[in-house]
Structure 1
Amino acid sequence: MSTSTEIAVLGAGMHPWGKWGRDFVEYGLVATRAALADAGLSRRDIQYVVGADTIRNGYPGFVAGATFAQALGWSGARVASCYAACASGAQAIDIARARILAGLCDVALMVGADAAPKGFFKPVGGDRPNDPDWLRFRLLGATNPMYFALYARRRMAVHGATLDDFAAVKVKNARHGLANPNARYRKEVTAEDVQASAVVADPLRLLDICATSDGGAAVVVSSLDFARAHGVPDPVRISAVSTVTPTFPKTVIDLPDFATDSTMTVPEPQRPFRSAIAHAAYEEAGVGPEDLSLAEVYDLSTALELDWYEDIGLCPEGDAEHLLRSGATALGGRLPVNPSGGLASFGEAVPAQAIAQVCELTWQLRGEAEGRQVKNPRVGIAVTQGLFGHGSAIIATR
């Protein structure tokens, strides 16, 4: 077994995003078979299967590891399932990574898939008055687009962001998604298209906010020794996985348990949530924002992508609009953001999303992202945020 703190990505596969009207297991199987083929392995080689869960797909969705292992064909592999909202896929990777680094297995499969409902994600599972997300939906009517809009208003008030800036994010990501065969939306979008679309939560328009989608993604990871023994001497490596929670100690500040995410200023040395996620990954990987070649960020809305620029250290606070306008975050720029097309081109298939980001980092670092390839990439980061303090940052290197 390897003593390295890194693991290898041997295979990556996806089922295209869309609204296909089929069972989520089918999407996961397509992605899994593609990842196994990419790795040059069979299902019998897999020692550990981790499924990323979602409540929306019923009991099979709650036990996704066993669901996918059964659908693939029982082979004696150990299984695990995990739910962490939008970070479910990242936590699945983290679980497998820990098992590999502990010497308990050599090769593992992570898979996530979703058959998402149309429109707003609504709370499921009955009344949950002890759940702050259920409360904000029921008592405030604060569905996700509402808090995306609050962030957008904050950027406008504090940093001078404009509707043109938000539209420019969508235009960029739509252009990136044109060449991605797995993207749901592969169509050029203009700023005029964005601003002419319906208002959902002022100031955000329909094209500022990501859709809900069906889709699946899978990756096969292994120890570095296993990769070398199977003829892959220089694999893409996962060098860090961060799933830190917000740090807002009530001994310092009395905060209500009523928000899924916060970036309010807290006493040093603590960091706002999204920044803390990325910083922990940088520390673990021994790199910094200056080392990045590309980033995949969770653009739930166009305005939130701008927040991510600052949170992951691409620019100082308040400079995101300038960075965007300079062209640095577009393909051909200094540091492309969402070369896959991001959620703007895919929509959310929640359990699959963080795994899909790792697929994109893998293809980019291998030089296989035809039509959207970043020039000579060496280090990439993928970041998510989700309900109830879940988030993740994954750093891949070559």
Structure 2
Amino acid sequence: MSGAGDIAVLGAGMHPWGKWGRSFVEYGTVAARAALADAGLDWPDVRSVVGAATVRGGYPGYVAGATFARALGWQGARVTSVYAACASGAQAINTARAQILSGMAEVVLVVGADAAPKGFFAPAGGERPDDPDWLRFRVLGATNPAYFGLYARRRMALHGDTPDDFARVKVKNAAAGALNPYARYRKAVTAEEVAASAVVADPLRLLDICATSDGAAALVLCGMDYARRHGAVDPVRIRAVSTVTPTYPNTVLDLPDIATDSAVAAEPSPYSFRASIARAAYEEAGIGPEDLSLAEVYDLSTALELEWYEDLGLCGAGEGAKLVREGVTALGGRVPVNASGGLASFGEAVPAQAVAQVCELTWQLRGTAGERQIDGARTGITANQGLFGHGSSVIAVR
């Protein structure tokens, strides 16, 4: 059954993740050609290209849509470039969807690619004193791993999570990534290996935190009528794309034994930012977490993945560790999370990762994911959180 706002995923393609030392343009072109081949289309058939921008790729990265159109060969297609930090890929998908549903284009190519520098990402975009993330970097010196470590400590204080629980997430994702030919790290990891890796931001160790990577992903999206005319009788469909911002900040500390009397101008939302992202997607798609076959989430750290379980409604607050202990989110579990291997196995290629998540949903819902295939997969969700209130969630169905 199709929803009124459904669009079809006609093709999906990727360039393997790694540290290849080449231009993001090369990676994106490989992924784009793979998606076109998967769709059974030639490049001149595409009338619109949406590129997820990379701010670390110089001027060509800022105008990614035009950059990829040029690399594939100028043929008159409309070009659009989108930047939204870690949600860039989903924003690009949403832009393509708007063009398709409005009748501006029948078929759209979406491409995200990056050549990431080694080490921690440095803040981009100059001085931003109105950006809480910039202030975190500049005033507190809190790099992303330090931020992740605070999240982990919060879970330990509130819910009783342990470093062993965090390690279980890495073990689970590494086992899935070992089965994915596009993953950068294709090796199983034990809990003992996680515990033996260097401490980066207590309690998180090196193997609890994702790397930075080169990589690319692409999708060919179209309307349902176009898909049927090209022989796709029952294609994977994108039913919802959420790109909401936070409602109100949570200004009341919730750690045990700490009381605050912070005054707020309005009642805080009962949902966290991440939970609000997923809730908006569920409402648009007309489904709930109980309908999910799988989820692909933004596992910058192992502790953050546990938080996503709760924000997606897979369990109640504080119950994320219980799910991973019981194998619920592993391959073969009730709701596998990061069957692709997640960022734990890929690393961050920022403008590509939200597109790559939808590639994984596509392959799983088609039943073509190989050794990591989830039996009977019919509905999947993705989730990302980025800088400056950028977040995204995509729901795909079949």
Q: TM-score, normalised by structure 2?
A: 0.94
Preserved contact between residue 3 and residue 239 of structure 2 (Cα < 8 Å): no
Structure 1, residues 233-273: CA drift from partner, whole Å, max 9, x if none? 11000000000000117xx9699xxxxxxxx9x83655210
1:225 aligns with 2:222: no
1:151-300 matches, within 5 Å, as 151-248=151-248, 267=267, 270-300=270-300
Three-state SS of the structure 2 residue aligned to 1:393 is strand
Which residue number corresponds to residue 383 of structure 1? Answer: 383
Preserved contact between residue 3 and residue 101 of structure 1 (Cα < 8 Å): no
Preserved contact between residue 247 and residue 270 of structure 1 (Cα < 8 Å): no
CA drift at 1:149: 0.6
AA paired with 2:25?
V
Hey, what's the Cα distance between the residues in 1 that align with 2:75 and 2:358?
25
CA drift at 1:130: 3.8
Hey, what's the Cα distance between the residues in 2 that align with 1:342 and 1:179?
12
1:116-135 matches, within 5 Å, as 116-135=116-135
Hey, what's the Cα distance between the residues in 2 that align with 1:248 and 1:131?
16
Preserved contact between residue 4 and residue 101 of structure 1 (Cα < 8 Å): no
AA paired with 1:272?
S
1:1-398 matches, within 5 Å, as 4-248=4-248, 267=267, 270-398=270-398
Hey, what's the Cα distance between the residues in 2 that align with 1:376 and 1:223?
25
Hey, what's the Cα distance between the residues in 2 that align with 1:150 and 1:225?
49
5+ residue gaps, structure 1: 256-263
Three-state SS of the structure 1 residue aligned to 2:94 is helix
AA paired with 1:156?
M
Compared with structure 1, are the counterparts of its residues 322 and 253 closer, same or farther at alpha carbon in structure 2 (3 Å cutoff)? closer
AA paired with 1:104?
M
Three-state SS of the structure 2 residue aligned to 1:56 is coil
CA drift at 1:3: 9.2
CA drift at 1:4: 2.9
Q: TM-score, normalised by structure 1?
A: 0.94
AA paired with 2:369?
A
Hey, what's the Cα distance between the residues in 2 that align with 1:213 and 1:269?
35
AA paired with 1:161?
D
Three-state SS of the structure 2 residue aligned to 1:377 is coil
CA drift at 1:131: 3.5
AA paired with 1:202?
D
Preserved contact between residue 247 and residue 269 of structure 2 (Cα < 8 Å): no
CA drift at 1:138: 1.6
Preserved contact between residue 248 and residue 268 of structure 2 (Cα < 8 Å): no
Hey, what's the Cα distance between the residues in 1 that align with 2:384 and 2:212?
16
Hey, what's the Cα distance between the residues in 1 that align with 2:22 and 2:159?
43
Structure 1, residues 282-320: CA drift from partner, whole Å, max 9, x if none? 010111000000000100000000000000000011111
Q: How many residues align?
A: 386
Hey, what's the Cα distance between the residues in 2 that align with 1:315 and 1:133?
29
Hey, what's the Cα distance between the residues in 2 that align with 1:205 and 1:57?
30
Compared with structure 1, are the counterparts of its residues 125 and 287 closer, same or farther at alpha carbon in structure 2 (3 Å cutoff)? closer
Which residue number corresponds to residue 259 of structure 1? Answer: none
Three-state SS of the structure 1 residue aligned to 2:166 is helix
Preserved contact between residue 297 and residue 384 of structure 1 (Cα < 8 Å): yes
Hey, what's the Cα distance between the residues in 2 that align with 1:271 and 1:3?
26
Hey, what's the Cα distance between the residues in 2 that align with 1:330 and 1:64?
35
Three-state SS of the structure 2 residue aligned to 1:86 is helix
AA paired with 2:358?
V
Hey, what's the Cα distance between the residues in 1 that align with 2:286 and 2:243?
17
Hey, what's the Cα distance between the residues in 1 that align with 2:277 and 2:134?
25
Hey, what's the Cα distance between the residues in 2 that align with 1:166 and 1:3?
38
Compared with structure 1, are the counterparts of its residues 28 and 316 closer, same or farther at alpha carbon in structure 2 (3 Å cutoff)? same
Three-state SS of the structure 2 residue aligned to 1:87 is helix
Structure 1, residues 351-394: CA drift from partner, whole Å, max 9, x if none? 00000000000000000000100010000001101111111000
CA drift at 1:125: 4.0
Hey, what's the Cα distance between the residues in 2 that align with 1:3 and 1:380?
15
Hey, what's the Cα distance between the residues in 2 that align with 1:5 and 1:289?
20
AA paired with 2:340?
S
AA paired with 2:326?
S
Which residue number corresponds to residue 259 of structure 2? Answer: none
Q: Tell me which moved more, 227-236 or 135-144.
A: 135-144
Hey, what's the Cα distance between the residues in 1 that align with 2:9 and 2:128?
39
CA RMSD between the two structures: 1.8
Which residue number corresponds to residue 260 of structure 1? Answer: none
